[in-house]
Amino acid sequence: MSGGPRGDHPERPTESAYARRLRAKAASIQAARAASGTTTAALAEDPGDFPPAETPAEAKARIRPARIRPARARSALALGLLLCFLVLAAAVLASLFIGSGHDVSGGDVFHALFDADLSDKGQLVVHEVRIPRTAAGVLAGIALGLAGCVMQGVARNPIADPGLLGINAGSSVAVVAAISLLGLASPSQYIWFGFLGALLAALLVYGIGSLGREGATPVKLALAGTATQAVLVALTSAILLKDRDSYDQYRFWQVGSLTGRDGSDLWQALPFIAVGAVLALALGPALNALSLGDDLARGLGQKVGRTRAGSALVVVILCGAATAIVGPIAFVGLAVPHAARLITGPDYRWILPYSAVLAPVLLLLADIVGRLVARPGEVQVGVITAAIGCVPFIILVRRRKLVEL
């Protein structure tokens, strides 16, 4: 060996057990040789007491288990995601086959999917009611699940919700104003006002939260969103009390429902949800960095302000589209990311896709329950999601140490 004694250097945290044993043995041999008058140079000339050098093949065999474990974990997560897709497919089929009061057979559903005869009552129900309803549940579920996940990642608060920024309230007041003041009655018309209201509400909240030297911190954004939401809800109530006709149209939409949507409404919302979903999935690494704190995220090269602004835009697009086509459905964007996190751990690169798949499952199953519990009538899906989700979510909050504002 050349240079000073190896035992004088601090140990590296990542060195192998073999290297530590080698270092300890070298130190003991050197101490014995020094006691007998042998120099370091002589020690270097006598390597017989040292273990043989590690060959490349031995090193590869030693480090292979460390590489296999993450690979196996990724394979397990990918397999779990595939299983979630299968569960989603089963939920879609159940939504198509199960109705509230219509006498529709399995053959009617099959023919409506592949060779629709609209003169047949059963096939007409499937083609005009159940297929758009199921598609609305899938699209809205994807949007709400991803929006809630992004919101929790940006705020670093597991109980954060897209409604915390007042986005749902902004979309709602814009739709009510369009119905009452402009006389718009079709979702294909007022969907654009839902986007506009969500965007303006998000900009207002971000502007208020950015005041001060610290900028838009999660706490300030949450407080600004809560205050803005209260004002927008009061404004919505004032418009409804003034115009009873708009209240009759808005009452069914206010709680959230998958019914009453046709293909044109969904086609108008689809591009926005698709773009928002792609952007949300791309935010996974940035959300992982933000979860470490702003300072560490900046040290890792993340533009924290730009990431927050981009995340807010994604939430606006997704929540605005979902709220405009199915109404302000609660709980889905709040609880589904927790279920995904229980499966995947804290990695947002996996939490986001799991949330995008599990949220439609929850929404469709809640809609099916709403069809069955009040036959021949129905219970709106927004009521069912709140009833189904409140108890397990309370249990989740009590069992887990959640970050508070």
Q: What is the pTM of this model?
A: 0.75
Contact predicate 380/388, CB 8 Å: no
* Residue 169 pLDDT greater than 70, yes or no: yes
Q: What is the reported pLDDT for 280?
A: 96
Q: Which of 184-193, 275-284, 301-310 has the lowest mean pLDDT?
A: 184-193
Higher pLDDT, 293 or 157: 293
Residue 375: the pLDDT is 77
pLDDT at 283: 94
Mean pLDDT score, 111-135: 76
Asked if pLDDT for residue 3 goes beyond 70, the answer is no
The confidence score (pLDDT) of residue 161 equals: 76
Share of the chain above pLDDT 70, in %: 71
- 25-29, 76-80, 267-271 — most confident range: 76-80
Q: Which CATH number fits domain 87-399: 1.20.1250.20, 1.10.3720.10, 3.40.190.170, 1.10.3470.10?
A: 1.10.3470.10
15-24, 78-87, 334-343: which has the minimum mean pLDDT?
15-24
Which has more confidence, 15 or 103? 103
Of 147-156, 217-226, 232-241, where does the model show the most confidence? 147-156
pLDDT winner (highest mean) among 145-154, 235-244, 261-270, 315-324: 145-154
Mean pLDDT of 107-124: 70
Report pLDDT digits (tens) over 32-90: 555 555 444 444 444 444 455 555 555 445 444 444 457 778 889 999 999 999 999 99
Position 235 scores a pLDDT of: 87
- Write the pLDDT tens digit of every residue in 363-384: 999 999 988 887 777 888 888 8
Return the pLDDT at 356: 96
Q: What is the pLDDT of residue 5?
A: 46
**Per-residue pLDDT at 267 exceeds 80:** yes
Lowest mean pLDDT among 8-17, 96-105, 270-279, 305-314: 8-17
Does 347 or 216 have the greater pLDDT score?
347
Q: Which residue has the higher pLDDT, 159 or 366?
A: 366
Q: What is the pLDDT of residue 363?
A: 94
If you average pLDDT over residues 271-276, what whole number do you get? 93
**What confidence tens digit (pLDDT) does each residue in 289-311 have?**
888 888 888 888 888 888 888 98
